[in-house]
């Protein structure tokens, strides 16, 4: 039987490090046209009808006010080999988009090219969740690519060994 005990935040973090997750970069443009982005590992499909996603964002992130007020954002599931892109957007740097190939999407949101999956979203809710907020968005466009996703496990990047490359659909 599992007993009850005090649970420390570091214990939960260490336990969740054993849960493999994809890595994504979430992007938007503010009302003045400036581009913003952050790395996210906590993304989940909330509903199929309508198609809703949740993305977790640190409450103390410099980009939180922008993402909680935006009219659109995009979630880019990174492909294997894009560890540098994940690291770049993991920090609150002002020049995250320098030398990054982008095109403009819905509501002029910057879209990263050459990623495993790209989901353009219209925000529908922001939910307070402890030291994070959950951005709930309706997916209005989805694109998948031929690439294997970048995976994060045990506090490090990993690659999937997939013998069935045909499982991914090309857009």
Mind listing the pLDDT tens digit for each residue in 23-57? 999 999 999 999 999 999 889 999 999 999 999 99
Query: Could you tell me which residues come within 8 angstroms of residue 61 by beta carbon, excluding any fewer than 6 positions away?
Result: 38, 92
**CA dist., res. 168 & res. 126, Å (int):** 31
**CA dist., res. 79 & res. 24, Å (int):** 9
Mean pLDDT of all residues belonging to the chain: 86
Mind listing the pLDDT tens digit for each residue in 104-113? 999 999 999 9
Q: Give pLDDT, residue 123.
A: 98
The number of C-alpha atoms within 13 Å of 51 and in the hemisphere containing its C-beta is: 8
Q: Is pLDDT at 80 greater than 60 in this prediction?
A: yes
Q: Give pLDDT, residue 95.
A: 60
Phi-psi region of 87 (alpha: psi -120 to 50; beta: other; left: phi over 0): alpha
């Amino acid at each position: 039987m599992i007993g009850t005990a005090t649970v420390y935040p570091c214990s939960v973090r260490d336990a969740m490090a054993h849960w493999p997750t994809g890595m994504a970069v979430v992007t938007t443009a503010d009302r003045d046209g400036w581009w913003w982005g952050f790395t996210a590992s906590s993304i989940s499909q909330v509903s199929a009808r309508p198609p809703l996603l949740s993305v977790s964002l640190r409450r103390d992130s410099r980009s939180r006010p922008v993402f909680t007020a935006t009219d659109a954002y995009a979630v880019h599931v990174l492909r294997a080999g894009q560890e540098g892109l994940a690291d770049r957007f993991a920090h609150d740097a002002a020049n995250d988009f320098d030398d990054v190939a982008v095109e403009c999407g819905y509501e002029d949101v910057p879209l990263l090219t050459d990623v495993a999956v790209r989901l353009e979203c219209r925000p529908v809710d922001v939910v307070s969740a402890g030291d994070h907020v959950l951005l709930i968005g309706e997916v209005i466009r989805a694109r998948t690519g031929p690439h294997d996703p970048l995976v994060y496990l045990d506090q490090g990047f990993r690659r999937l060994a997939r013998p069935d490359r045909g499982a991914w659909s090309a857009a």
